[in-house]
Chains A and B, each alone.
Chain A
Amino acid sequence: MNHLTRLAVLLALAVAGLLFVRTATSQVTVPLIGLVRDNNAVHWATLQPRLGSSSDCAGCHADVDLKWSRSAHAGQACESCHSAGDRHMAYGAILPPMSELCTTCHEKIIGRPSSFPTIVRADHYPLQDCLSCHDPHAPAAAFPKIPHNVKGREDCLACHGNGVAPLPPNHANRPVELCLGCHKPAEGSQQ
């Protein structure tokens, strides 16, 4: 055999060896380059939740939970109105619900199912804060017993001037400070 042929065979073997070693060690594969759909679902699964469970809230706020669990809002998550609780758990940030949140659910608007309890805010004591009459943690239980922190006739008229429980016509021009002479708050007529 010609010595050049032998050299050529040796060189071919060496190149084959090189390719083999390179393939075995380098592991440059299609997934490494990134052209197959590799799954990083683990990354998504290990993110930390920000919203918790309402039973976690009830662990400390047992008094609210007691009212809430028997109210019309019982099916609701605390964070539905109070927003994500992670900052509260981490460093005690207070989570005040915004006052407009009542009407985002309970305002009568186009699109809202007619079976859902709604009001027209413009006709429903528009100057009063919702919370002055309603306790959102116990709406059904607390509604009939409205807190009456009233002093003078003006305070009474804020609700009873016109609206749900208006004054009878013959009460229209009574002097100031007279209501409490006959009526006890929330107990009706005392005559």
Chain B
Amino acid sequence: MSGAMRRRAFLKLAGRVVIGSVVIYGAPSAVMARLNQPGEADAEAPPANYNPKSHEWVFIVDTAKCIGCGRCVRACKQENHVPMDPRFNRTWIERYVQIADSDDLEVDSPDAGIYGFTSPEVNRKYEGKEITKSFFVPKLCNQCEKPPCVQVCPVAATYKAADGVVLVNRDKCIGCRYCIQACPYGARYLDPDEHVADKCTWCYHRISRGLLPACVTVCPVGARKFGDLRDPESEVSKIVDKLRLYVLKEDLGTKPRVRYTQLDEGVR
């Protein structure tokens, strides 16, 4: 009799523990899970019709056309709220100059090229020297098919979207700078205001609305071209069909989506 009573008391206690545990552990996390679920995308939002799986974007740079005016750098900073500080850039322009009797190409990029290359201070170092070759190379994130920055991120804050664009989830990024170190092209920087990694998105908010990236829009000489390889009639598709295209640091195997026409072999 007393054994049965003890058993009943034990079962009552066990039942309370079980139910209490469910309430304490289960319920709050269930509520949190509901709260954390991503909200439904606004059906009226402008990129509602955008399907990333049906695009394969490609960016083509013609170094023979670039005049180094810096319009692209300025437009990018305005469009994407990039700090005006020349240390932080999503795109920049480099100038390569070969001086006679020298094997190496000199490279300069004053203030990332945002004010152009016309100021006398910028050109003084080449005064009186014989220049055998000189050209500009616009640079930006290559949106690699095998991106090292995505591979090294310890919190999986950066990822490759279905259309190939590499993006950063700023809510998740902890600002550890691994990706900045890993990028062989120097295309990433740490946002000085929010301390998260930032990089070129190919103006994701523009291309998903059918606009061109800001740098492509403002380029006065057509040195930057952007389009969809899935559209055989697009200008970029025709260029890809016709011309020999180069990528930066091909031997690293990152498979960049930014292709260069007429790229000099000295460019790195």
Which A positions have Cβ atoms within 8 angstroms of B? 3, 7, 10-11, 14-15, 17-18, 21-22, 25-28, 32, 34-51, 53, 73, 75-77, 79-81, 83-84, 100, 103-105, 107, 109-113, 116
Contacts and interface: CB of A to CB of B under 8 A. Distances in A.
11 contacts: A7-B10, A25-B27, A27-B30, A41-B161, A41-B204, A46-B45, A51-B217, A73-B220, A80-B218, A109-B123, A111-B134
Interface class of chain B by DSSP: mixed
B263 interface: no
Given A11-B14, A14-B14, A36-B156, A41 B52 contact: yes
Nearest to B39: A42
A7 B209 CA distance: 65
B26 A25 contact: yes
Interface stretch (B60-68, B186-194, B231-239, B247-255): B60-68
Contacts of B79: 49-51, 84
B208 A45 contact: yes
A43 B161 CA distance: 12
Given A48-B205, A51-B75, 9 more contacts: A10-B14, A25-B30, A27-B30, A39-B167, A41-B167, A49-B205, A50-B78, A110-B134, A111-B68
A32 B205 contact: no
Interface string B63-105: 0110111110011001100000000000000011100000000
B33 interface: yes
B54 interface: no
B159 A37 contact: yes
Given A46-B205, A49-B205, A50-B78, A38 B222 contact: no
A44 B64 contact: no
Interface in B118-138: 118, 123, 126, 131, 134-136
B240 interface: no
Given A28-B29, A40-B167, A45-B205, A35 B117 contact: no
Nearest to A47: B205
B48 to A, nearest CB: 9
Contacts of B46: 46
Contact of A111 (B117, B158, B205): B117
Given A7-B10, A40-B167, A110-B95, A32 B33 contact: yes
Contacts of A22: 21-22, 25-26
A31 to B, nearest CB: 10
Contacts of A42: 41, 47
A66 to B, nearest CB: 20
Contact of A79 (B70, B115, B161, B217): B217
Contacts of B21: 18, 22
Contacts of B134: 110-111
A139 B218 CA distance: 18
A3 B3 contact: yes
A105 B69 contact: yes
Nearest to A50: B79
B29 A39 contact: no
Contacts of B69: 104-105
A44 B7 contact: no
Given A18-B22, A41-B204, A104-B69, A80 B220 contact: yes
A19 to B, nearest CB: 10
Contacts of A75: 220, 222
Contacts of B33: 26-28, 32
Contacts of A7: 7, 10
B136 A111 contact: yes
Contacts of A109: 68, 117-118, 123
Given A32-B36, A51-B79, A76 B126 contact: no
B15 A14 contact: yes
B206 interface: yes
A24 to B, nearest CB: 8
A3 B75 contact: no
